[in-house]
Amino acid sequence: MIFIPRQESFQCGHCGADVQPLKKGSCRNHCPQCLYSKHVDEVGPGDRASICHGLMEPIGIEQKGQEFMICHRCTTCGILRRNKSAPDDDGDTMIRVMQEQTGGITTSDHRSWGS
Ligand SMILES: [Zn+2]
Ligand SMILES: [Zn+2]
């Protein structure tokens, strides 16, 4: 059985934490401690086609059924993205982002990936 890992560990560009890939479940693309992500995908998750590589700041949390989506904005190019939160994301950080969330974000500003 051949397993091609799509997930790699990376170092968080914001808090410096070593972020390990999730053992199972969805693709991890953000830091579980500070929720920052990196702008590496251009068209869809995992394509790694972006040349931006800017830091993606968590600017809001949205609830979608049982799941939480983290809204990220690239601090370099300003693109908005939504990503599924991971089970081990830091709860306190999630709450803090929720509280800091401004009302200025509308769903039409996002490009939603799947689901
Ligand atoms: Zn971090
Ligand atoms: Zn960017």
User: Looking at residue 58, what is its pLDDT?
Assistant: 96
Could you tell me if residue 5 is inside a domain? no
- Centroid of ligand 1 to alpha carbon of 105 (angstroms): 23
**Residue 1 resides in a domain:** no
Confidence tier at 17 by pLDDT (50, 70, 90):
very high
Q: How far is the CA of 38 from the centre of ligand 2 (A)?
A: 8
Residue 112 lies in a domain: no
Q: Which residue has the higher pLDDT, 6 or 15?
A: 15
How close is the Cα of 54 to the center of ligand 2, in Å? 5
Q: Contact, 76 vs 36, CB < 8 A?
A: no
Closest ligand (CA of 76)? 2
Q: Is the pLDDT of residue 113 over 60?
A: no
* One-letter identity of residue 62: E
pLDDT for 97: 94
Containing domain of residue 29, as a range? Answer: 10-102
Q: What percent of the chain has pLDDT over 90?
A: 48
- Other CB atoms within a 10 A radius of the CB of residue 101 amount to 15
Q: Is the pLDDT of residue 27 over 70?
A: no
Ligand nearest to the CA of 36: 1
Q: CA–CA separation, 48 vs 42, rounded Å?
A: 7
d(CA 12, ligand 2 centre) in Å:
16
Closest-approaching ligand to the CA atom of 54: 2
For the entire predicted model, the pTM comes to 0.76
**What distance in angstroms lies between residue 17's CA and the mean position of ligand 2's atoms?**
21
Q: Decide if 2 is inside a domain.
A: no
- CA triplet 76, 58, 62: central angle to 5 degrees? 135
> Is residue 20 domain-resident?
yes
Cα–Cα dist 100/7, whole Å: 30
Query: Among 4-18, 70-84, 87-101, which stretch is predicted with the lowest mean pLDDT?
Result: 4-18
Contact 22/28 with Cβ under 8 angstroms?
yes
Would 53 be classed as within a structural domain? yes
> Is 27 inside any structural domain?
yes
Total domain count for the chain? Answer: 1
Residue 37 lies in a domain: yes
More confident residue, 7 or 59: 59
